[in-house]
Amino acid sequence: MGCSPILIDGTWAEPESTTARFRAHDPATGEALPGEFPEISWPDLERMARAAQGAARELASIDTERIAVFLERYADLIEERADAIVAAADRETALGAEVRLAGIELPRTTGQLRQGAAAVRDRSAGGWSMPSIDAEVNIRSRYEPLGGAVLVIGPNNFPLAFNAISGGDFVAAIAAGNPVIAKGHPAHPETTRLLADAARDAVEEVGLPSGTVQCFYHAPPEDIARLIAHPALAAVGFTGGRSSGLAIKQVTDAVGKPGYFELSSLNPVVLLPSSASADLDGFATGWSTSILMGSGQFCTKPGLCFVIGQEVAEELAEAVARSFDGKPDSILLTGGLVDSIDHGVQALQDAGAMLMAGGATSLEPGFRYPGTLLMTNGRTFREMPDSMQRELFGPAAMIVACDSEEDLLAALRTLEGQLTACVWSAGASDEDHALHDRVQGTLRPICGRLLENKMPTGVAVVPSMVHGGPYPATGHPGFTSVGLPASIRRFAALRCYDGISPARLPSNLV
Amino acid sequence: MGCSPILIDGTWAEPESTTARFRAHDPATGEALPGEFPEISWPDLERMARAAQGAARELASIDTERIAVFLERYADLIEERADAIVAAADRETALGAEVRLAGIELPRTTGQLRQGAAAVRDRSAGGWSMPSIDAEVNIRSRYEPLGGAVLVIGPNNFPLAFNAISGGDFVAAIAAGNPVIAKGHPAHPETTRLLADAARDAVEEVGLPSGTVQCFYHAPPEDIARLIAHPALAAVGFTGGRSSGLAIKQVTDAVGKPGYFELSSLNPVVLLPSSASADLDGFATGWSTSILMGSGQFCTKPGLCFVIGQEVAEELAEAVARSFDGKPDSILLTGGLVDSIDHGVQALQDAGAMLMAGGATSLEPGFRYPGTLLMTNGRTFREMPDSMQRELFGPAAMIVACDSEEDLLAALRTLEGQLTACVWSAGASDEDHALHDRVQGTLRPICGRLLENKMPTGVAVVPSMVHGGPYPATGHPGFTSVGLPASIRRFAALRCYDGISPARLPSNLV
């Protein structure tokens, strides 16, 4: 079996510049899967950049209806080929074919593509391009495509709904009218290949420029940096881990191009005394379910729970430990993630946290880790905010037992920027309400999405969703990567027409 | 005469940490003006950061009507004190009291403040905060204040309308509900002091938090960097030169905070053959007026003119040289600017450009430079795009004589990102239109504002204005620093409320 080709300018082509080959692994067994995929280098990336440049020029004057039709046709093709895509994704991620991949993630993916098509067509209130017309001075403006390609770098944890070739960033970049160069995650290359093939076929059927959608799997960091600096490249969308994201961010910052980074989040949950008294067991069940969901590999996994009182903390820890008990160890996406979470759990203990459940390396085959719970106190947390705010990507979380309301609020004030933050309260008394208000006031500025009596794990794809937040959750607090049309505007330039003749104006500015 | 105080937390206070004192200069004579102003360091900046943090917390729950009233009252006070403010600004900038400062810039400044007030009140289509409500799933979002202060770093060239304490960035940051720490430009500190005093009085009268508006003039770069890294600081707005702007951008990038940078622009003008034939003299008059306006110290000065044909280029050069002839040398804002433009004019000649007018150091007193014109050809321009694209801040510009349409388009394709680009055409024939379309297609993606038969120097403060553009014109192509409400959203965070009880929702999300 030969090495897979890459998608350049509408064609599945042999790379000219393969520097290495790699295989994905079955996370359930740890064994390498059969297909080989190429790590490419600059000559192939430059070919992609050139093709994307041509596509960007053509897309600037295309009837946008064709972009909408493409997004819909691509969704249709994914559905037609769903069995193969889901089977490949399950082999490469072990996330579960029926429930998670076929039942939830694939419909979400096609739903996002179709919402993107609707956003392209939507002219109500101007849609995503927000046209503004000052007719008396003949000045007009709107958001437009960037005029170059968007490099989308996809994460490991959602092989379909966040895949670089089919996920939210892809939809947003294409809906704005930009070509996409997709770098699929090397943990699920066959899934990416199948999706890219459907995208390619849809591009061809609909007659979009052949360089509209291109795809590769792996390249050395210095070549990715060179691609980002290339004039054909206009922006980057990245979802993944903090350290690799920050390395890419340095590159986009240095060349002055917009980069959107979803980097990390602990998603703090604050359990107020009223809620702890009302139904601690119910809360514990909901929280532990959220911790284990997707093997804990959600950006929105609630990784920290703040409570007031040592007794409550211990009771909660026991309930969570009970609910972990007897559950099989979670299968993680890669062996590296097992090492990383194990290292993180150890580092937190070294910094003073206590291990309440799990934490031992799994004895089963493949990439596994048990449901794991740590506990610390408010003072330790706020005195070592850097050590204590360590993201554990996988089925692990920590309770922070605070002494008092003041201790709680002081600890919350040391939190970094987050995607989400939740307050749980059954408050009926004025005192409960007053504390709730203070906690909400403290959490509101540091998170993109604030929740009440609700776990953050689900991310509804609706216009008002914000999947974003202040650094280091993302690179900019003014954007969201989920929710249309807002996510589209990340990949758009604001452009003004001053004194331009009617015949030379875009149609929605006349 | 003692050293001026700085504005900290509502009070004009002696700095605790003065590291040096400086004076502004009268640009017309080059002599130091009487007032002394402090260069401060970290202890005072830290006091400002703390006060701003408290103000940000209070502003989060304030009735925004008070912010609107503040902006209006501040505008009123500027008008009441206009004589003193204009006199100080004219002494420090020599821009001209009656026409430029009192006639144009001061009304623009108060107009921006009042537009900011209107934008705070405007709930049509949700106004700047763009509320989005998905009632069926109880998810809502909107733009909100950042939760920290905005550091505004003002430029030298508009002592009122872009002053850090009264200009567009100030209005946008305050209108969003953020406190501002203003760093006035050291070339016009007395103007800044008078404006800051009016702002302070308005804050007090209206009862905004005392830390809402603070002001200093000068601090070492490492202390400014420390301020930007402080948790109380949420964003930066910078207008000024490219090298100092990029130094600040490195700091905001490293700490992951939004920074908005207006850095540089050559504002290319393309004179198509149809327009050159129709009225070359009229064009030359308009262009030379724009080059000399404000002594050429506009961000939107049209610094490059592309023509086709050597004869046209020479005729244009002669006409511009004639219109420079007999005009007094332009007074620049600082002595450093004289050195800088002289150095730039020399560097362009070293790279192959020919000097067609001006270029000699002025013999008159003060900071002066003559109207200056250079010329190069299309091939030289595109073969040395870096050397040739040098911003000459002051009364100087360059003609690029292209051989052919293809030479012109190739030269235009080497242009960096620009604030503006203009096409001049009197085209009646199909050929003219075809060329115009190709030129517009080439310029559109590289500029924020595209103009037709119009010089870019004027920047109308209307909602559809875009004063922005791709790097290195600014740091991000998706924003504008002029035009409300769009400019406000730069200083706002996108925030979602998921499952929040009605009583805890902001009023425009209920």
Closest-CA residue of A relative to B61 is A441
B134, B262, B440, B498: which to substitute to probe chain A, counting the most A Cβ within 10 Å? B498
Which residues of chain A make contact with B494, given a CB cutoff of 8 A?
A: 448, 466, 468, 477-480, 486
Report the relative pairing of strands A492-498 and A139-145 from DSSP bridges. Answer: antiparallel
Q: How far apart are the first and last CA of chain A?
A: 56
> CB-CB: which of A250, A464, A477 is closest to B141?
A464
Q: What are the Cα distances from residue A400, in Å, to A307, A325, A356, A435? A: 6, 21, 12, 17
Mean per-residue pLDDT, B356-378: 95
Cβ contact, residue pair A454, B499, below 8 Å:
yes
Tell which B residues from 238 to 277 touch A, by Cβ distance under 8 Å.
249-250, 253, 255-258
H-state helical runs in B122-188: 168-175
Q: Please state, in angstroms and rounded to a whole number, the distance separating the CA atoms of residues B489 and B479.
A: 8
Q: Please state, in angstroms and rounded to a whole number, the distance separating the CA atoms of residues B498 and A425.
A: 15
Token output for B447: 């500029």
Cα of B36 vs its chain's centroid, Å: 26
| Residue B234: φ, ψ to 5° | -105, -25
A478 touches chain B (CB under 8 A): yes
Give the Cβ contact number of residue B315 at 10 Å: 16
Q: What are the Cα distances from residue A402, in Å, to A271, A375, B69? A: 11, 11, 42
On the question of pLDDT at A1 being above 60, the answer is no
| Residue B18: φ, ψ to 5° | -65, 125
Closest-CA residue of A relative to B485 is A132
The secondary structure of B394-430 as a DSSP string is SSEEEEEEESSHHHHHHHHTT---EEEEEEE----SH
- A395: CB partners within 8 A, 6+ apart: A291, A292, A295, A296, A330, A358, A369, A370, A371, A372
Cβ contact, residue pair A444, B471, below 8 Å:
no
On the question of pLDDT at B1 being above 70, the answer is no
Contact of A447 with A423, CB cutoff 8 Å? no
Shortest Cα–Cα distance, A476 to chain B (Å): 6
Cβ contact, residue pair A498, B472, below 8 Å:
no
Mean per-residue pLDDT, A183-204: 98
- Helix/strand/coil for A39: strand
Shortest Cα–Cα distance, B458 to chain A (Å): 11
Query: CA A184, A187, A189, A190 torsion: positive or negative?
Result: negative
Give the Cβ contact number of residue B406 at 10 Å: 11
Token output for A367: 């990439």
- Active-site residue set of A: 262, 299
B494, B497, B500, B505: which to substitute to probe chain A, counting the most A Cβ within 10 Å? B494
A385 touches chain B (CB under 8 A): no
Contact of A82 with A102, CB cutoff 8 Å? yes
On the question of pLDDT at A15 being above 90, the answer is yes
Token output for B382: 């595109």
On the question of pLDDT at B474 being above 80, the answer is yes
- B158: CB partners within 8 A, 6+ apart: B105, B167
Q: Please state, in angstroms and rounded to a whole number, the distance separating the CA atoms of residues A432 and A350.
A: 35
Contact of B443 with B268, CB cutoff 8 Å? yes
Tell which A residues from 107 to 166 touch B, by Cβ distance under 8 Å.
125, 132-134, 137, 139-141, 143-144, 146-148
pLDDT at residue A123, rounded to an integer: 79
Identity at A508, one-letter amino acid code: N
Q: Please state, in angstroms and rounded to a whole number, the distance separating the CA atoms of residues A178 and A165.
A: 13
Token output for A241: 């881990």
Mean pLDDT for chain A overall: 97
| Residue A317: φ, ψ to 5° | -60, -40
Q: Please state, in angstroms and rounded to a whole number, the distance separating the CA atoms of residues B467 and B476.
A: 11
Percentage of residues in chain B with pLDDT exceeding 90?
Answer: 97
Q: Which residues pair with B26 in a beta bridge?
A: B31
Cβ contact, residue pair B493, A486, below 8 Å:
no
On the question of pLDDT at B467 being above 70, the answer is yes
Mean pLDDT for chain B overall: 97
**Confidence grade of residue A360 (pLDDT, cut at 50, 70, 90):** confident
Report the relative pairing of strands B418-424 and B396-402 from DSSP bridges. Answer: unpaired
Q: Which residues pair with B452 in a beta bridge?
A: B423
Closest-CA residue of A relative to B450 is A497
Contact of B371 with B324, CB cutoff 8 Å? yes
Q: Report the candidate in B410, B423, B414, B412 with the shortest Cα–Cα distance to residue B449.
A: B423
Q: Please state, in angstroms and rounded to a whole number, the distance separating the CA atoms of residues A450 and B139.
A: 10
pLDDT at residue B123, rounded to an integer: 79
> CB-CB: which of B448, B456, B490 is closest to A495?
B448
A141, A146, A246, A450: which to substitute to probe chain B, counting the most B Cβ within 10 Å? A141
To 5 degrees, how large is the angle CA B425–CA B428–CA B434? 70
Give the number of residues written for chain A: 510
**Confidence grade of residue B339 (pLDDT, cut at 50, 70, 90):** very high
Mean per-residue pLDDT, A412-441: 95
Contact of B421 with B270, CB cutoff 8 Å? yes
Shortest Cα–Cα distance, A235 to chain B (Å): 10
On the question of pLDDT at B126 being above 80, the answer is no
Which residues of chain B make contact with A146, given a CB cutoff of 8 A?
A: 445, 477
Report the relative pairing of strands A447-452 and B447-452 from DSSP bridges. Answer: unpaired
Which residues of chain A make contact with B56, given a CB cutoff of 8 A?
A: 445
Q: Domains in chain A, start-ordered, CATH in brackets?
A: 6-13+44-263+474-509 (3.40.605.10), 268-452 (3.40.309.10)
Mean per-residue pLDDT, B14-39: 96
Q: How far apart are the first and last CA of chain B?
A: 56
**Confidence grade of residue B124 (pLDDT, cut at 50, 70, 90):** confident
Q: Please state, in angstroms and rounded to a whole number, the distance separating the CA atoms of residues B355 and B317.
A: 10
Shortest Cα–Cα distance, B128 to chain A (Å): 12
pLDDT at residue A124, rounded to an integer: 75
Catalytic residue (choose from B39, B105, B215, B299): B299
pLDDT at residue A178, rounded to an integer: 98
Cβ contact, residue pair A445, B146, below 8 Å:
yes
Which residues of chain A make contact with B463, given a CB cutoff of 8 A?
A: 132, 134
Shortest Cα–Cα distance, A122 to chain B (Å): 16
Contact of A362 with A324, CB cutoff 8 Å? no
- A302: CB partners within 8 A, 6+ apart: A267, A268, A269, A287, A290, A291, A397, A420, A422, A455, A456, A457
Closest-CA residue of A relative to B249 is A253
Cβ contact, residue pair A454, B493, below 8 Å:
no
Which residues of chain B make contact with A453, given a CB cutoff of 8 A?
A: 499
Closest-CA residue of A relative to B504 is A437
> What ipTM goes with this model?
0.97
Q: Please state, in angstroms and rounded to a whole number, the distance separating the CA atoms of residues B50 and B46.
A: 6
On the question of pLDDT at B362 being above 90, the answer is no
Cα of B425 vs its chain's centroid, Å: 28
| Residue B323: φ, ψ to 5° | -75, -25
Q: Please state, in angstroms and rounded to a whole number, the distance separating the CA atoms of residues A234 and B253.
A: 18
pLDDT at residue A363, rounded to an integer: 87
A260-282 tens-digit pLDDT: 999 999 999 999 999 999 999 99
Q: Which residues pair with B423 in a beta bridge?
A: B270, B452
Mean per-residue pLDDT, A4-33: 97
Q: Please state, in angstroms and rounded to a whole number, the distance separating the CA atoms of residues A309 and A346.
A: 25
> CB-CB: which of A417, A444, A494 is closest to B480?
A494
Look-up of token digits 């690799």? A244
Tell which B residues from 53 to 82 touch A, by Cβ distance under 8 Å.
56-57, 60-61
Instruction: Decide if B391 is catalytic.
Output: no
Question: Is cis: bond before A485, omega within 30 of 0?
Answer: yes
Q: Report the candidate in A285, A356, A355 with the shortest Cα–Cα distance to residue A323.
A: A285
